[in-house]
Amino acid sequence: MLRVLPGDLGYYLPGTATDSAKDKGLSSSAYIIAQGQACGIIDTGLGARTFRALVSCLGAHRLTPRWVIFTHDHYDHVANGPWIRRHYNVPLLIHPEDRPLVEQPLRIFDDDLMRSHYSGTLRDAFEDMNRFPEQYRRYQREVSEDQYHPVRIDETVEDGDTLQLENFRLRVLHTPGHSPGSISLYEPSHGAVFAGDLPLWLGPGRPYPLGNYSHWKASMDRLLALSPRFIGWGHSIPTSGQENCRRLLQNTLRRVTEIGRAIEEQLSTGERTTAELLEAMDLVPAAHREMAEHSVHAILATLRDEKKVATMRVKGMLYWGLR
């Protein structure tokens, strides 16, 4: 299960399905950046199997963690954090914009917090998708039962901060889009970027305001400009080689930009609901439908911000149309 990172960077555990009924879902990958006997951990994953594998890797290589940093607040990346802190007495770090929801995941349903911190509520997003109230309530149940992993944070990191390990430096880049406080970690001497869920092929993957299409595009462009030679990300094996990394980022950007264009094309023939848009574009297999609809919402909401589209209610249903 444990794999070696290129150069002398360290190790990683690829994301896997979790092995317990309680921790439902897919654990993210976890990256161990090692220098001498010191290491830092980027994302801790979810579930006992990943936790045990992390501890056994650190034990086998006699590594002591100095810090744990999360690329963003999602439970599949952070849930093992408190167990790692308890085991090694190590601080947990995140970007401040993802701190409220990682510490209190249910505040995602707190309209006041969402409005003041993130300029929009999840309830509004679900209304935009005609998924209020039934699916909103179902999502509330999922977060409070399967996805409830509150994680107390010790320190926050901002864009431009560096994390040191011996003579090794990782630079923090604020790369929002998948979540407001998503970060990437950049190690210049290996040209390595640890990007969390930013390069997901579906784009933002979360509804606006949590997912933000224009922020996502700017963040992807920022990673492209680094010409990375290695990209470690949340749910797949890492990408190695400058050309492969460029292709990964460019292809993902192109695919998602094409979705944006296809949406505008669909709307030029008449008003549509998000579900109708999704149907017409035949984007994804059924298993990823919800995440695709979230991305479509993030794109539509950006187009609405740019005053290119508007919403209207007809017989209780919300439709999108060109302005």
Instruction: Output the smallest distance, CB 121 to Zn ion, in A.
Output: 20
Tell how far CA 260 is from the center of its chain: 20
Nearest residue to 279 (alpha-carbon basis) of 130, 137, 125, 122:
130
Instruction: Output the smallest distance, CB 72 to Zn ion, in A.
Output: 6
The β-bridge relationship of strands 230-233 and 192-196 is parallel
Answer for which of 23, 73, 128, 197 binds Zn ion (CB under 5 A) is: 197
Instruction: Output the smallest distance, CB 292 to Zn ion, in A.
Output: 15
Cβ closer to Zn ion: 74 or 117? 74
- Contact call for residue 74 and Zn ion (CB under 5 A): yes
SS3 of the chain: helix, strand, coil, percent, to 5: 40, 20, 35
Cβ closer to Zn ion: 182 or 266? 182
Cβ closer to Zn ion: 23 or 197? 197
Cβ atoms 106, 143 nearer than 8 A: yes
- Contact call for residue 294 and Zn ion (CB under 5 A): no
Instruction: Output the smallest distance, CB 197 to Zn ion, in A.
Output: 4
Cβ atoms 87, 211 nearer than 8 A: no
Instruction: Output the smallest distance, CB 35 to Zn ion, in A.
Output: 27
Which region, judged by CB under 5 A, interacts with Zn ion, from 16-24, 67-75, 163-171, 287-295?
67-75
Nearest residue to 203 (alpha-carbon basis) of 192, 191, 217:
217
Alpha helix (H) residue ranges in 22-110 = 48-60, 75-78, 81-88, 99-103
Q: Which of residues 200-259 bind Zn ion (CB under 5 A)?
A: none
Q: How many residues bind Zn ion (CB under 5 A)?
A: 2
Which region, judged by CB under 5 A, interacts with Zn ion, from 68-76, 89-97, 217-225, 238-246?
68-76
Cβ atoms 165, 39 nearer than 8 A: yes
Cβ closer to Zn ion: 74 or 174? 74
Cβ closer to Zn ion: 128 or 197? 197
Instruction: Output the smallest distance, CB 188 to Zn ion, in A.
Output: 25
Residue keyed to tokens 């922020």: 215
Q: Give the integer Cα–Cα distance in Å for 34 and 56.
A: 14
Which region, judged by CB under 5 A, interacts with Zn ion, from 147-155, 161-169, 197-205, 290-298?
197-205
Cα distances (angstroms) measured from residue 235 to each of 13, 27, 197, 239, 260 = 10, 8, 7, 12, 24
Cβ atoms 216, 35 nearer than 8 A: no
Cβ closer to Zn ion: 70 or 126? 70
Cβ atoms 66, 37 nearer than 8 A: no
Cβ closer to Zn ion: 97 or 271? 97
The binding site for Zn ion (CB under 5 A) comprises: 74, 197
